[in-house]
Structure 1
Amino acid sequence: MRLAAVAVTLSLLGACASTGAGRPSGPVNALYSQLDLASKGYETALQQSREGNLEASQLTLTQSLDRLKEASARCGNTSGCDPQRFFSVFDRLLRLKDGDFSGDQDLDSDVAPSQAALAASKGGVSSLPQAQRSVTLLHGQKLSELIAMNGPVKAALEMWLTQMRPQLMDAWVNYQYLRYQMWPQYEKADLPEALLFGIMAKESGGKVHAVSRSGAAGPLQFMYATGMRFGLSNDSGFDMRFDPAASARANAEYINEQLRIFNNNLELTIGAYNGGEGRMRRAVGDDTSVSFYDPRIYNQLSQETRDYVPSVLAAAWLFLHPDSYNLRFPKIDGIPGTITLKRPASLSELTVCLGSAGGMNDGWFRTLRNLNPRLDPQVTQPVGTSLQLPKPLEQAYAARCVDGPWPILAGDLHRAVVPVVVQDVPVVSAPVVRGTSQYKVRRGDTLISIVRDLHCSSVQEVTEMNGLKHHHLAIGKTLKLPVCR
């Protein structure tokens, strides 16, 4: 039994709501009583789960959710019943559930099956319950309790589920292949994985080599100075902001630094990451308990930061509760693998010969670049080079990229030479300059008017000949001018 099923029922009854403002009728009160019983039963199931009584917890949980589903369905057909009351209970139960159920209960788990498999693999966290706690907790606080489900966050949820859905799905896929490098950095820092995903989804969509117009770079978009402050320097010509593990470590250090400054106020911390910690500190002052949405704070921030904070939180929320929003992330086997090149190849050539192996219809170029950020994708790597790639591609490489037609085709395409078109540039004869003449500046003269009368020079040339600064002319000043024939 999943909360998602109740969400569907609620969405249907919302359209059937009555707007009557009178006192609730007997049938309505009966439905509200059912709602209260369902809520209390759900809390009882949580407590039973915490005490280890999983069989009783499952039974109580099933009965409670059945009661909630039945009552919410009847609300849509009962005059005077307020569906918002059911929505509020649903939202509360969704928050209560984070990390509190264990065992084999069929719930909308905070950890997807692909994450659970990775958690049990070498290099991952040791067990699923630990992964759940790490996913949902921020320094001992439930992440769900820190995310205010207000208008801006709900609007951001809609954006991620509609216009920005392709970016969200790409970010999910990219993150699953980068997870083994990035998530351990957050786990060590006692930060929730959902927050890491939310920031990355908003910043770069999981494109390791992303660079913004302002110069922010890498999967988590560090500015150069901030990156340097957290150890993202230059390593033999490689900008460490593009290294997924190093970038995640630096991001975790930054987030924890700002959480200490803002007394674990998550929204202010995320706002500082986007808009600058200095600006956020000046806006907040000594009152770190103030809400990010308080007009005294909110109105001082740029529109970008106002949008950024709820967008990050909404992406983190969807990471935790995709099923509750009719969202299905693809199952990704993100276990890392390695190959040693048997024949020279570039990342571009490997992309061609791998094709859609493993069901990747969009091809593997982005993933290969993300996992090998130090390599130029167009440069052919020699035999013996070790490359990182998803483990399922190890067999695909051996089958497709060592022998046969695909590496030959890939190499042929890669070596193609695109002709360079050389356009004829008209030759303009330069005027012959013979010596210089002198000119005394008169009232009303400008450099442009003086040069225009010469018919053979430029403002830059006259400026340089006379050592002028900022094109400043003084009346009576004698200028040297070129003499042209």
Structure 2
Amino acid sequence: MPVPVLLARGLPVLALASLLLAVPDAHAQRVSARDRAKAEALQQRMGVAEKRYTDALLRVANADPKAAGEADAALEDMEDVLSECVGQKGCQMSTLLATYKRLLKRDADAEGDDSVADEAGDTLQADPDHIGPLAADVPEAARAAALLNDKRHAFDSMVEYNPAIQAGIRRWLTDMRPALLTSYENYQNVRAVMWPEWEKRGLPEALLFGIMAKESNGRVHASSRAGAAGLMQFMPATGRRFGLGPDGTGFDTRFDARSAAEASATYLNERMRQLNNNIELSLAGYNGGEGRALRVFRQGGGQSFWVDSVYSEFPAETKDYVPMVIAAAWIFLHPQQYGVEFPKVNAQPATVRLAKSTTIYELTICLGSQGTRDGYMRTLRNLNPRYEADGWIPAGTLINATTRIAGLYTRNCVSGPRADLARTLITADLNAAIVRPSAASFTGSVAVGGVVPVAAAEASVVGTAPTAPVVAPRPAAPRAQPVRSHKVGKGETLGRIAAKFSCDVPTLARANGLKAPAYSLRQGQTLKLQGCGN
């Protein structure tokens, strides 16, 4: 990654600043109203220049070719302000130098982290999340949320810590430990958009993590044979009740992290309100059906989920689900107690504007795996659920990422050997490896015995000359012309079709009226293979 602009220029400027420190500040001078106004103007110029520089650094991380020049211009303006401050009464040099020092320190921190820090704390904004009013959205679980507070260690006041929960903890810590750690890592990358939706509805974060870990292991595109989908595994009908489903562009908002968090928090609060804030029964309703949970609750007179007459009313899947969710939540709150060291995840949100068209597969290859065990494919997919892994994303698109991904993208994916290698691998076509020799190139021989002319053979049989004319051999059939159309098969995407026929994706999309970035196809659709090589 290029050395931040301020680090490259900081020493000369600080040397100049050390000479300027001899200039007395405003408190040691008699200052007129006009001088104060000029000093304040310089202070404002310094603030504007600081913002210009900060914005330019973010653009540098997003591969904007003009950003470095903008950063240099901002620094030059700061230097001009410092120079003018020397001769201006009332100008507080120490304040201006504090600004410069702050920028220098932040650049040093960014260089040490191998990423461009997003100090403004930008939220994820490349893909507008599904936002809509939800009825009866009341934080019924506020009391329970207050109990579930790691600092007070009061989780045991909220649920029963019994052998079923202990057995669940044992499973998470043994054969399911990899799933637990993967779930935690995936959760950290979407926490910035999920946790606020639960927090403002008065629900505990540990419960959010527990449900997500059990339902999907933190994989946004998880789906079940029964039709449940997304991080929180909403069924289609239930999703529609809470504002989830197809949004008109072909995208199902059950796969959107923020929308799923918002809907699940509202849904769980609805269960809590019906079931007297009973967490176990609310989870049983989440998994085994809200109607069943409410019926069992009323028949049992509000008894605990663990009472035999209540427990036996739920299917085996729900009997497993409830303790496993609570066990994951318990470990989330008390990892040290169980010797769990959750992975440290650099998940500060950032956005990246693509310098060229690409796919998530290609980005996964060129980014590498620095700072992570499994690379960045899952992070990119979770943060950008609208894009298929092999679907082409046009240049100029703003995608969601983290500050580390932003830095690695600038370093490895815009240009250079890693970027070239990733493009070669992503466009490699298996069919190109298959050798198909033509008939004209065949040079072998086949032994067929003695050759007898057809006419002579017939004469020897019937004793007369042949009466039928000799048929001339058919000319060789012309070679087939390149395929000009293709019928879309099940599961095919435009990216896969383009790779198969060596097509230019934008040309192929325009020829068939497909709009970026989704390039939505339907099974059985016939595509004109315009801009394709074979």
Same fold (TM over 0.5): yes
Cα distance, 1:376 vs. partner?
Answer: 1.3
1:483 maps to none
CA distance in 2 between partners of 1:150 and 1:188 (Å):
30
1:179 maps to 191
1:454 maps to none
Report matched runs for 1:255-334 at 5 Å.
255-285=268-298, 287=300, 289-334=302-347
Cα distance, 1:147 vs. partner?
Answer: 2.0
1:250 paired with 2:280, answer no
User: Higher relative CO (CA 8 A, sep ≥ 6), structure 1 or 2?
Assistant: 2
Q: Give the structure-2-normalised TM-score.
A: 0.53
Cα distance, 1:288 vs. partner?
Answer: 5.5
- Flag the 1:372–1:164 CA change in 2: closer, same or farther, 3 A: same
Cα distance, 1:349 vs. partner?
Answer: 0.2
Answer whether contact 1:136 1:144 (CA < 8 A) is retained.
no
2:364 maps to 351
For 1:341-370, what per-residue CA distance to the aligned partner results, in whole angstroms no more than 9, with x for missing partners?
11221110000000112x213111111100
1:151 maps to 163
Greater shift, 143-152 or 159-168, is seen at 143-152
1:231 paired with 2:237, answer no
Counterpart residue identity of residue 254, structure 1: Y
1:141 maps to 147
Counterpart residue identity of residue 307, structure 1: D
2:224 maps to 212
Answer whether contact 1:137 1:191 (CA < 8 A) is retained.
no
CA distance in 1 between partners of 2:301 and 2:203 (Å):
20
Identity fraction in percent: 47
Answer whether contact 1:263 1:288 (CA < 8 A) is retained.
no
Q: What CA RMSD, in Å, does the superposition of the two structures yield over aligned residues? A: 2.3
1:401 paired with 2:401, answer no
3-state SS in 1 of match to 2:351: strand
Cα distance, 1:187 vs. partner?
Answer: 0.6
CA distance in 1 between partners of 2:283 and 2:379 (Å):
27
1:411 maps to 423
Cα distance, 1:340 vs. partner?
Answer: 0.5
2:399 maps to 387
Q: 2:210 aligns with which of 198, 210, 215?
A: 198
Answer whether contact 1:368 1:389 (CA < 8 A) is retained.
yes
Unaligned runs of 5+ in 1: 1-116, 125-134, 422-485
Cα distance, 1:144 vs. partner?
Answer: 3.2
Report matched runs for 1:416-427 at 5 Å.
416-419=428-431
3-state SS in 2 of match to 1:337: strand
2:388 maps to 376
Answer whether contact 1:265 1:288 (CA < 8 A) is retained.
no
CA distance in 2 between partners of 1:339 and 1:122 (Å):
12
Report matched runs for 1:59-138 at 5 Å.
138=144
Cα distance, 1:377 vs. partner?
Answer: 1.4
CA distance in 2 between partners of 1:331 and 1:411 (Å):
30
3-state SS in 1 of match to 2:400: strand
CA distance in 2 between partners of 1:385 and 1:196 (Å):
31
For 1:23-57, what per-residue CA distance to the aligned partner results, in whole angstroms no more than 9, with x for missing partners?
xxxxxxxxxxxxxxxxxxxxxxxxxxxxxxxxxxx
3-state SS in 2 of match to 1:234: coil
- Flag the 1:136–1:176 CA change in 2: closer, same or farther, 3 A: farther
Answer whether contact 1:175 1:197 (CA < 8 A) is retained.
yes
For 1:319-354, what per-residue CA distance to the aligned partner results, in whole angstroms no more than 9, with x for missing partners?
100001111101112111111111221110000000
1:100 maps to none
1:60 maps to none
For 1:368-419, what per-residue CA distance to the aligned partner results, in whole angstroms no more than 9, with x for missing partners?
1000000111112121011111111111110000110111111111112233
Counterpart residue identity of residue 147, structure 2: Q
Unaligned runs of 5+ in 2: 1-116, 125-140, 149-154, 435-534
CA distance in 2 between partners of 1:221 and 1:374 (Å):
17
CA distance in 1 between partners of 2:429 and 2:344 (Å):
39
CA distance in 2 between partners of 1:395 and 1:220 (Å):
31
CA distance in 2 between partners of 1:226 and 1:262 (Å):
18
Cα distance, 1:289 vs. partner?
Answer: 3.0
3-state SS in 2 of match to 1:285: helix
In our comparison, the structure showing a higher alpha carbon Rg is 2
CA distance in 2 between partners of 1:416 and 1:319 (Å):
43
Counterpart residue identity of residue 256, structure 1: N
- Flag the 1:398–1:121 CA change in 2: closer, same or farther, 3 A: closer
Answer whether contact 2:244 2:259 (CA < 8 A) is retained.
yes
Answer whether contact 2:285 2:292 (CA < 8 A) is retained.
yes
- Flag the 1:139–1:320 CA change in 2: closer, same or farther, 3 A: closer
CA distance in 2 between partners of 1:396 and 1:267 (Å):
44
2:43 maps to none
Answer whether contact 2:355 2:414 (CA < 8 A) is retained.
yes
Answer whether contact 1:189 1:253 (CA < 8 A) is retained.
yes
Runs of 4+ in 1 over 2 A off after TM superposition: 120-124, 135-144, 286-289, 418-421
CA distance in 2 between partners of 1:190 and 1:122 (Å):
24
2:510 maps to none
Answer whether contact 2:198 2:261 (CA < 8 A) is retained.
yes
Cα distance, 1:286 vs. partner?
Answer: 5.4
1:240 maps to 253
Counterpart residue identity of residue 310, structure 2: I
- Flag the 1:279–1:206 CA change in 2: closer, same or farther, 3 A: same
